[in-house]
C-alpha cells in the first residue's frame, strides 16, 4: 500500500444532514477530509451532531495506514441504521480526529451545503470542471457505423478524468439510442440519464449519457450527449481525424 497523503482542512460551508425529517448534523465547524480524488468525507465536532441518537457498535475496522475505525449505529425510533457513523482512534502520521465524527453519506437522506442540497459525496474544492465550446470535428463510431458527427461539441475537462465530448442531439443519430432506466449523480454536474446504444444488431447498455438539467455550476452541457468508449471497445471517438 502506497503512503497516503492526507488533506484535512476546515470549510466555511454550513453543513446540515437529515434522516426521516430529523436533523442529524448541523455544523458551521465542519472539517473536510480528502483522502484521494474519489473519497471525501465531512467530519463534525460531536457537539454539532445528534449524539443522543448514536449507539456504539461492536466492530472495529483496522487498517495499517488509517488506524482503528470505531462505528456508531444511528437509532431513529424503531429504525436502526447500522454503522452509520464512525470515529478514528488517534494515530501518528494522519490527521487528528479527536472529538470529531463522520457519517456515511448514503445513511442519511439529504445533505445541504448552505441552503443547496448536495448529492453523492462532498465536493472537493480542488476538483474542477470546465465545459468549453469547440469547433473540433468529433465523430463517434460503433464498428463501421457512424452514430454522431459534429463540429459544435463542448469539451468537458475534469480534474483527473478523461476528456469528454458532449455532442448536440441534432448531430447524433438518435435512431441508434433507446432510453435506459439508469440514473447516476455527480456532485459537480448533477443527475445524468442514460441511453443504450444499438448498432450492428447488438445493444451496448448505458453507453451514452445526458444531463437534462445540470446544476447551476455546469449549465453548458445541458441536453448534450456524451458517449462512453470505456463501456465497450467497439465505440470509437475520432477528433479532427484522429482516434482518441
Give the pTM: 0.79
Q: What is the pLDDT of residues 53-69, one digit of tens each?
A: 999 998 788 876 778 89
User: Which residues have CB under 8 Å from 148's CB, separation 6+?
Assistant: 138, 139, 140, 167, 171, 172, 173, 225, 227
The pairing of strands 116-118 and 242-243 is: unpaired
Burial of 7 (0-12, 13-18, 19+ CB in 10 A): middle
125 or 1, higher pLDDT: 125
Instruction: Identify the pLDDT of residue 4.
Output: 62
Residue burial 118-146, b: 16+ Cβ < 10 Å; e: rest: beebbbbeebebebeebeeebbbbbeeee
Domain annotation for the chain: domains and CATH numbers: 7-118 (2.170.150.40), 129-243 (2.170.150.40)
32-41, 84-93, 113-122, range with the lowest pLDDT: 32-41
Q: Which three cell numbers stand for residue 116?
A: 443547496
Q: What is the pLDDT of residues 190-205, one digit of tens each?
A: 999 999 999 888 899 9
Question: Is residue 240 pLDDT above 80, yes or no?
Answer: yes
Instruction: Identify the pLDDT of residue 2.
Output: 46
Task: Report how far residue 220's alpha carbon sits from residue 128's, in angstroms, rounded to the nearest whole number.
Answer: 15
Nearest CA-CA partner of 177 in 104, 94, 137, 235: 235
Confidence of residue 121 (pLDDT cuts 50, 70, 90): confident
Averaged pLDDT for residues 100-114: 95
Instruction: Identify the pLDDT of residue 103.
Output: 97
Task: Report how far residue 31's alpha carbon sits from residue 98's, in angstroms, rounded to the nearest whole number.
Answer: 12
Q: How many residues does the chain have?
A: 244
Amino acid at each position: 500500500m502506497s503512503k497516503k497523503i492526507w488533506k484535512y482542512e476546515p470549510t466555511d460551508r454550513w453543513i446540515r444532514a437529515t434522516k426521516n425529517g430529523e436533523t442529524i448534523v448541523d455544523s458551521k465547524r465542519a472539517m473536510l477530509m480528502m483522502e484521494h480524488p474519489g473519497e471525501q468525507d465531512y467530519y463534525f465536532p460531536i457537539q454539532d451532531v445528534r449524539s443522543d441518537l448514536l449507539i456504539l457498535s461492536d466492530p472495529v475496522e483496522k487498517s495499517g495506514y488509517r488506524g482503528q475505525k470505531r462505528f456508531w449505529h444511528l437509532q431513529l425510533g424503531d429504525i436502526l441504521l447500522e454503522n452509520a457513523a464512525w470515529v478514528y482512534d488517534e494515530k501518528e502520521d494522519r490527521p487528528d480526529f479527536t472529538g470529531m465524527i463522520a457519517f456515511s453519506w448514503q445513511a442519511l437522506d439529504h445533505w445541504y451545503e448552505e441552503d443547496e442540497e448536495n448529492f453523492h459525496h462532498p465536493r472537493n474544492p480542488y476538483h474542477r470542471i470546465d465545459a468549453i465550446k469547440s469547433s473540433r470535428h468529433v465523430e463517434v463510431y460503433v464498428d463501421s457505423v457512424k452514430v454522431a458527427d459534429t463540429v459544435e461539441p463542448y469539451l468537458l475537462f475534469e480534474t483527473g478524468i478523461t476528456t469528454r465530448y458532449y455532442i448536440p442531439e441534432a448531430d447524433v443519430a438518435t435512431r441508434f439510442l433507446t432510453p435506459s432506466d439508469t440514473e447516476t449523480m455527480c456532485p459537480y454536474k448533477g443527475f445524468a440519464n442514460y441511453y443504450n446504444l444499438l448498432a450492428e444488431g447488438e445493444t451496448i447498455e448505458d453507453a451514452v449519457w445526458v444531463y437534462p438539467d445540470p446544476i447551476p455550476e455546469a449549465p453548458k452541457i445541458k441536453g448534450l450527449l456524451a458517449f462512453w468508449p470505456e463501456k465497450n471497445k467497439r465505440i470509437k471517438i475520432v477528433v479532427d481525424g484522429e482516434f482518441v
